[in-house]
Amino acid sequence: MPDFDISPILESWQFLATGIGVTILLSILSMAASVLFGTVLGIARVYGSRLLQLVITFYVDTMRSIPVLVVIVWIYFAVPILTGINFPPFWSALIAITIHITASVVEIVRAGIESIREGQCRAALALGMSWPQVILNIVLPQAAIRMLPAIGSVLSVTIKDTAIASVIAVPEFMKRAETVASQSYQPMEVFTFAIFVYFLLLFPTTRTIDFIYRRVAHLGRS
Amino acid sequence: MTLDWSIVWLNKEALAEGALMTIVLTVLTMSLAVPLGIVLAFMRLSKWRSLALLSQCFVELFRNIPLILIVYWSFYVIPILIPVQFSAFTTGLVALVLCVSAYNAETFRAGINSVRHGQTNAGLALGMSQLQVMKEIILPQAARRVLPILATTWVSLFKDTSLVSVIAVGELSHVALQIRSQSFRVLEMLTAMAVIYWMMGYPQAKLSDWVRKKFEVKE
Amino acid sequence: MTEPSPLRRAATQRPLLEYKHVCKTFGAFTALDDISINIYPGEVVCFIGPSGSGKSTLLRGTNGLDPFDGGEVFFDGQILPRKQSEVRKVRQRMGMVFQNFELFPHKTALQNVAIGPITVLNKDRVEAEQQAMALLAKVGLADKADNYPVNLSGGQQQRVAIARALAMQPEVLLFDEPTSALDPETIGEVLSVMKALADEGRTMVIVTHEMSFARRVADWVIVFERGKVLEEGPPEQIFEAPKVERTKEFLSHLGWA
């Protein structure tokens, strides 16, 4: 067993810590944007016109068939050629990850809405509510609770996907760890440390969401 | 802006080889990760606490770190820990198997646990042994719940093989990115790469939907 | 037709099932408190009593699915073993019917009935399926042999479950609230199958809330409350002239007398 020398990690702790900050920021922004767009598109996927449904389904299935790496690289290198606008890597990654994760959220929202029994809608309509009121007040709140575990695993996927942004040199934690590893010639220490950091980011996140879900699950049953 | 799509055609053989490598990686990973996942799931469900804990740690660890990091770690650290030089292909395969078997273990465990306890009692009441109950009653029912999830995992795995490109395994995205940097036909190559993935991945995604519909458990 | 049980009980016959000082607790809750009762060959015994009185717990301990904490059960003179491999042998001689049927959803009605003899008794498949077919005919479901449980009504599922238990040619049949999960209109078909089995002279232990069935079919009725036996006796006595005040109260709550 070789010696374990953590001095490179200690020496570059600030460089690595800001990387963790970027990872968290990129994760939160991508997730927030994906939940926003995914909810809108998910509602449109269920209640929209036939054509709209087809277009959204095509988009979702396309994202299910293309690796996120490919989307990231395409947005970063190809979009500037097409549009003449250069985005910094962070923004390219944010856009690419959002496009990819939104597709997952659409599917979750669709399944969540479709899992609500029809009787719930009929009961609300019988009270004299309009369709938008039914969706907003009755369907979405129940669906949101049922969606929680799936949203939790998507959040976990999002955080993991931000590590792939290292291939376009977004200064997030994976990229920073790689840099420190190659400059110090001590990849074992640095990458093992990186495993700890990601585990500490991801494990509590998924556990917290599971915990919240168990507390509120009864509100989503009908 | 002038586009020259002939670059794609000129490199059709290299791209085809890359695509083939992507498929080989997917198939090999899954055929190793299914048995490994089953072993891990049974360890997790076993009476021996230490065995269960070991499996749980393995599963939680690999489900909670990015695959790309597992790939880097395997590439840089395994050669330091064991003095055997693996090829980039083997290293990439190991990383994928570690990750996917953790997911599969969880899939199998959940599948087995989803069968109601009363079913076990009904089998035992007939005088079956625990082993017979597992084989005749639990596993066939668990399979119906496991297969759709395995299909979804398969589609994710197919996409995730692209990540071993960072250690220069010659699968589709590595090949396409290489040609891009040599030819400077960036837009054409990147688009071609996306389209090839789409052509291979789309039918798989649809097939996994079909599996899910077919095996959906009605309750 | 079987003779009334009290005569059997008077005889110096060995009980088929003998419970001696059986106890069981769930945490702070005492489910069974020093129960000692006997069940004789050819007898139909009904366990009645309010929910949570311990009657189902006693039944489930009989074949070791939920082992007792204290006391002993003797089956055919042999003490019920604790070891998994040995208790299996005893279970093969007892049939059990569950409240929620617990048919195996991945097998057809016929396969459900044949699976015991095939996997446990190593019977030839063709032979086992022939026997299974005969048993399905006996419970009136020969035409449903190839149906999966999901396509059967509750009453039909429970009749298949009875056939599955019969396929092992058990020496005693244990029924754990067999009609509690059924729609009212299908309860009758299950009870009449059980009545027919009783008329064959089979030994049956039935946990039930169907008082008129117990009154009509049982040879012996045991009333439970809070893990204890309140009283036992022939149905005429229990239902017409109970000796214990609490039995009277329990029966009158159910609208009986």
pLDDT band at B219 (very low <50, low <70, confident <90, very high): very low
Please tell me the predicted confidence (pLDDT) of residue B217.
62
Which residues, in sequence order, are CB contacts of B166 under 8 Å at separation 6+?
A: A167, B68, B71, B72
Please tell me the predicted confidence (pLDDT) of residue A203.
94
Which residues, in sequence order, are CB contacts of A144 under 8 Å at separation 6+?
A: A112, A220
Question: Do the Cβ atoms of B165 and A206 come within 8 Å?
Answer: no
Q: Which residues of chain B have a CB within 8 Å of the CB of A64? A: 155, 201, 205
Whether C and B touch (3+ CB pairs < 8 Å), yes or no: yes
Question: Residue A22: is its pLDDT beyond 70?
Answer: yes
Q: Which residues of chain C have a CB within 8 Å of the CB of B126? A: 91-92, 115-116, 119-120, 164-165, 168
Which of A67, A166, A195 is facing B159, going by the closest CB pair? A67
Given the DSSP bridges, would you call strands C78-79 and C70-75 parallel, antiparallel or unpaired? antiparallel
Q: Is C10 on the interface with B (CB under 8 A)?
A: no
Question: Do the Cβ atoms of C150 and B119 come within 8 Å?
Answer: no
Q: Is B147 on the interface with C (CB under 8 A)?
A: no
The lowest-confidence range among A117-126, C69-78, C209-218 is A117-126
pLDDT band at A8 (very low <50, low <70, confident <90, very high): confident
Mean per-residue pLDDT, A55-65: 96
Please tell me the predicted confidence (pLDDT) of residue A202.
95
Closest-CA distance of chain B to residue A136, Å: 28
| Euclidean distance between CA atoms B84 and B95, whole angstroms | 16
Burial (0-12, 13-18, 19+ Cβ within 10 Å), A161: buried
Q: Which residues of chain A have a CB within 8 Å of the CB of B67? A: 160
Which of B119, B130, B140 is facing C102, going by the closest CB pair? B119
The pLDDT mean for chain C works out to 91
Residue C24 and residue C33 in contact, taking contact as beta carbons nearer than 8 Å: no
| Euclidean distance between CA atoms B46 and A108, whole angstroms | 33
Query: What is the per-residue pLDDT across C110-139, written as a single tens digit (0 to 9) for each?
Result: 999 999 999 999 999 999 999 999 999 999
pLDDT band at C257 (very low <50, low <70, confident <90, very high): low
Closest-CA distance of chain B to residue A129, Å: 31
| Euclidean distance between CA atoms B110 and B103, whole angstroms | 11
CA atoms within 13 A on the CB side of B178: 15
| Euclidean distance between CA atoms B93 and B32, whole angstroms | 10
Of how many residues is chain A composed? 222
Please tell me the predicted confidence (pLDDT) of residue C5.
53
H/E element, B197 = helix B186-215
ipTM of the complex in this document: 0.91
Mean per-residue pLDDT, C38-55: 93
Q: Which residues of chain C have a CB within 8 Å of the CB of B141? A: 104-106
Which residues, in sequence order, are CB contacts of B128 under 8 Å at separation 6+?
A: B136, B137, C88, C116, C119, C120
Question: Residue A12: is its pLDDT beyond 60?
Answer: yes
Please tell me the predicted confidence (pLDDT) of residue C10.
57
Which residues, in sequence order, are CB contacts of C163 under 8 Å at separation 6+?
A: C113, C132, C135, C136, C138, C139, C141
The lowest-confidence range among B122-126, B198-202, C25-29, C163-167 is C25-29
| Euclidean distance between CA atoms A217 and A211, whole angstroms | 10
The lowest-confidence range among A131-145, B35-49, B107-121, C147-161 is A131-145
In terms of CA atoms, which chain C residue is nearest residue B140?
A: C106
The token duo for C237 is 């006595």
Closest-CA distance of chain B to residue A6, Å: 15
| Euclidean distance between CA atoms B174 and B136, whole angstroms | 46
Query: What is the per-residue pLDDT across B163-178, written as a single tens digit (0 to 9) for each?
Result: 999 999 999 999 999 9
Please tell me the predicted confidence (pLDDT) of residue A136.
86
Query: What is the per-residue pLDDT across B14-67, written as a single tens digit (0 to 9) for each?
Result: 999 999 999 999 999 999 999 999 999 999 999 899 999 999 999 999 999 999
Question: Do the Cβ atoms of B126 and C164 come within 8 Å?
Answer: yes
Name the 3-class secondary structure at C13: coil
Please tell me the predicted confidence (pLDDT) of residue B183.
85
Mean per-residue pLDDT, A129-139: 86
| Euclidean distance between CA atoms C225 and C49, whole angstroms | 6
Please tell me the predicted confidence (pLDDT) of residue C11.
58
Given the DSSP bridges, would you call strands C228-233 and C220-225 parallel, antiparallel or unpaired? antiparallel
Residue C76 and residue C171 in contact, taking contact as beta carbons nearer than 8 Å: yes
Question: Residue C55: is its pLDDT beyond 90?
Answer: yes
Distances in Å between the Cα of A2 and the Cα atoms of A131, A182, C134 are 66, 18, 72
